[in-house]
Homo-oligomer: A and B are copies of this chain.
Amino acid sequence: MKEKDLRVQDIGEFALIERLVEVLGPASRGAGQGVIRGIGDDAAVLQNNPGTRLLASCDMLVEGMHFDLSYFSPRQLGWKALAVNLSDIAAMGGRPRWALVSLGLKPELKVSFVEEIYAGIAELAGDFGVIIVGGDTCSSPERLVIDICILGEAYRSEVAYRSGAREGDLILVTGKLGAAAAGLAYLREGGKAEIDGSEELRQAHLKPVPRVKEAAILIHSGMVGAMNDISDGLASELHEIVQASGCSARIWAERLPISQATALMARHMGADPRDWALYGGEDYELLLTIPGEKGSPLKARKLGRSLMKITGTPLNFIGKILPVSGAVEIVQSDGEIEPLLPGGYNHFKK
């Protein structure tokens, strides 16, 4: 049998794991990365830095529900599965360190396909110094399933909770919003729309870059109150912060950072780019608050400039935290104030 025709069922679990470790290369070893024992025993043995707290999160992606293999290459899928997890650690203000990868695979999948998933994981892991220390592979006859558990660390003073927003805080967001939803709409339409910046939108959906470096700079400023990553849409994430913090929020529609490509794609699709920004989700930008006392707009601009200079990522002021509990409002372009409902992505709901 030719190497390129080899399927998972031809080589079995143990040989597959050996090949995947090979693909990971340095991303499976981690000398000096706190890895005392990685893949190859009943559990990984790890050493976090003294005095740090441990951060742990997991995200499961299911074929046809979270991703479509008609436009996702296996390498992009591996990248994205890890990226959404790194984003969770960034949102806590931490450094991602180790990951465990569980894969449910169709037995007839090509070995080279699974290796490509791992190549995507290894690529992103390499960019952020993350080591793959364990996982599981098993048979899933109908759909590819990939579940990654990420472990990170942060010193106590670095951890940013959802509950850290206070009355008067400014609400900021990194990057641009709605690009991932615009990219998804473009891909679902077959990638045929000829629009300036369509490649940027495609990448926003297929290969989001987690804001790990941005989070570190923001946390280092000492100004961050609450922080969330935008996985389910800005509206939904802002509601989470407001609920956890016992306050309310008001944002301005005109201040939503929307790229030109997103606006063009929305016009082409007959969609509202603000809907994508508010409800689209999967942007994996950071939504955060900083104190709103006198002089803070100036400080926010300074922070934004230094973030842009170091990472190339913009930081935009979009709203304010208000007293009273629970509500989120949006000020429309005409000055009308409307309630902003959560309405982000909700699994299972019909």
List A residues at the B interface (Cβ < 8 Å). 8-9, 11-14, 16, 36-37, 40-48, 50, 53-62, 64-66, 87-89, 91-92, 94, 98, 100, 102-105, 107, 133-143, 145, 147, 149-152, 154, 159, 161-163, 228-229, 244, 346-350
Contact = CB atoms under 8 A, between A and B. Distances in A.
B162 A348 contact: no
A134 B45 contact: no
Nearest to A97: B54
A99 B322 CA distance: 36
A348 B12 CA distance: 5
A43 B55 contact: yes
From A8, A58, A102, A161, name the one whose CB has the most chain B CB atoms within 10 angstroms.
A58
A222 to B, nearest CB: 19
Contacts of A140: 62, 65, 143, 145
A57 B143 contact: no
Contacts of A92: 41-43, 45
Contacts of A154: 45
9 pairs of A and B residues whose beta carbons are closest in the complex = A43-B57, A149-B149, A42-B91, A12-B349, A13-B347, A46-B54, A60-B102, A43-B55, A42-B88
Contacts of A100: 56-58, 149
Given A13-B348, A143-B140, A44 B57 contact: yes
